[in-house]
Amino acid sequence: MPYNRKAADTLGTSYQTAIDNNNGGNFGPSLIKFPQGTKAYKFDPALAGKEQFINILPWAIETDKHPRVAKGQAKIGDNDFMLDLYTHYVDGVLKGSCVCMAQTYGDVCPFEQETEGQNLGAAKRRTIFWVQPCDRNGKPTGDGAPMILNVSHYAFTKLLLEEADIQGRDQGLGGSIPFANPDKGYVVGFRFAMESSGGAQKYAQIKRVDFYERRDPIPDTLLSSIPALDSLIEIPTREAIHAALYGKGSTSSATDAEASTESTEDQAQDTGSVAPEETF
Ligand SMILES: [Zn+2]
C-alpha cells in the first residue's frame, strides 16, 4: 500500500531499527519478484567518484513477510523505505536471489536443505529500495520512473544509515536525517569507487554520503505507483529451489565451481553491489 501521509511518521523508527540490526538478524529463503518492466538502478563505473543523487521512496508495509514485522519490530500499515534481508544467490544457476529463511526469519532454510554439504551460495545481507534518480534538489532525471536498488548492506546501506544518524545528530535533529520522508525528506547524494576483493570482478563501494533538502514533496501519484516491497517477497518451497538449482540442465560440476568462488568471500568482500539482471 502507498505511504500513508496521514499516519504518524514511523519512518524514524525504521532508521534506528536498521542500525540496530547491523549485527544481523534471523530470517529464511524466498524469491523476490518485481513488477514486469521494473528497471534496476545500476552503478555506472564511468561515474565512480562523481556525486550521484537519488530520492529513496517510502511505502507502507502490507504483509507479515516483512522481516521487521516477523521480528515484532514493525506492524502492517507502518511506513517504511527498505527491506533488509539475507539472500542466497548462485550465479548462473539459481535464476534470481533466494531469501535465506534461516537468517531472515529464523525458520528452516529450504535452500540450505537442498544444498547441504555443498558449500553453495552463502547467505549475504542485501538491502532493497525503491529509488528515483534525481538532481541535487530532488527533481527527477530521465523518465522519473521508480527503480529498484538492490545492494549489499556492507557496500552501500551501512554507510548510508550511519551517516544519516551522525549527520542528523550533528544538526540537532535528535535522530537520523529523515531522508525517506516524502514531505520533509532529503535527497541522498553519494559517491562510490569501483573496488575488487582480489578477483577480476569489481563492485561499487560507497565512499561518501551527503543529504540535501528536497525542494518539492514526492507526489502521491508516484507513491501510489510503487508496490510495498514486502508484498513482493515469495517464500520459496524446497521443490522450487530444487527446480531452480537442478531443473534447467545445469551440471553439478559447474555448480560446484561457482560455489567455491562464492564461498570464499566474507562480508567485507561482498561483491555485486547491484543485483545481476537475473534477479529481475
Ligand atoms: Zn539460508
**pLDDT value for 259:** 35
For ligand 1, the distance from its centroid to the CA atom of residue 280, given in whole angstroms, is 20
Closest CA to 129 of 235, 277, 273, 278: 273
For ligand 1, the distance from its centroid to the CA atom of residue 88, given in whole angstroms, is 7
The residue count for the chain: 280
For ligand 1, the distance from its centroid to the CA atom of residue 61, given in whole angstroms, is 23
Q: 129 - beta bridge partners? A: 149
| Residue 244 cell numbers, joined | 531452480
For ligand 1, the distance from its centroid to the CA atom of residue 234, given in whole angstroms, is 14
For ligand 1, the distance from its centroid to the CA atom of residue 140, given in whole angstroms, is 37
Q: Are 95 and 103 in contact (CB under 8 A)?
A: no
* CATH no. for 11-271: 3.90.198
Q: Are 98 and 114 in contact (CB under 8 A)?
A: no
Strand segments (E) across the chain: 31-32, 39-40, 52-57, 59-60, 79-80, 83-88, 98-99, 124-133, 147-152, 186-196, 202-213, 233-234
For ligand 1, the distance from its centroid to the CA atom of residue 247, given in whole angstroms, is 20
For ligand 1, the distance from its centroid to the CA atom of residue 278, given in whole angstroms, is 19
For ligand 1, the distance from its centroid to the CA atom of residue 171, given in whole angstroms, is 40
Q: Which residues lie closer than 8 Å to 76 by C-beta, 6 or more apart?
A: 61, 62, 63, 64, 66, 69
For ligand 1, the distance from its centroid to the CA atom of residue 102, given in whole angstroms, is 5
* pLDDT by 10s per residue, the chain, length 280: 899 888 766 666 666 555 444 333 222 233 567 777 788 888 999 999 999 999 999 999 999 999 999 999 999 999 999 999 998 876 655 556 788 999 999 999 999 998 888 878 889 999 999 999 999 999 999 999 999 898 899 999 999 999 999 999 999 998 899 999 999 899 999 999 999 888 888 899 999 999 999 999 999 999 999 999 999 888 878 888 887 777 754 444 333 333 333 333 333 334 333 333 333 2
Compute the radius of gyration of the chain from its Cα atoms: 18
Q: Which residues are found with C-beta within 5 Å of the ion, ligand 1?
A: 100, 102, 109, 111-112, 123
**pLDDT value for 12:** 61
Q: Are 132 and 221 in contact (CB under 8 A)?
A: no
φ, ψ (nearest 5 deg) of residue 121: 55, 60
**pLDDT value for 8:** 66
Q: Which residue has the cell 550465479?
A: 91
For ligand 1, the distance from its centroid to the CA atom of residue 263, given in whole angstroms, is 13
Kindly report the pTM of this predicted structure.
0.80
For ligand 1, the distance from its centroid to the CA atom of residue 122, given in whole angstroms, is 7
d(CA 53, CA 209) in angstroms, rounded, equals 10
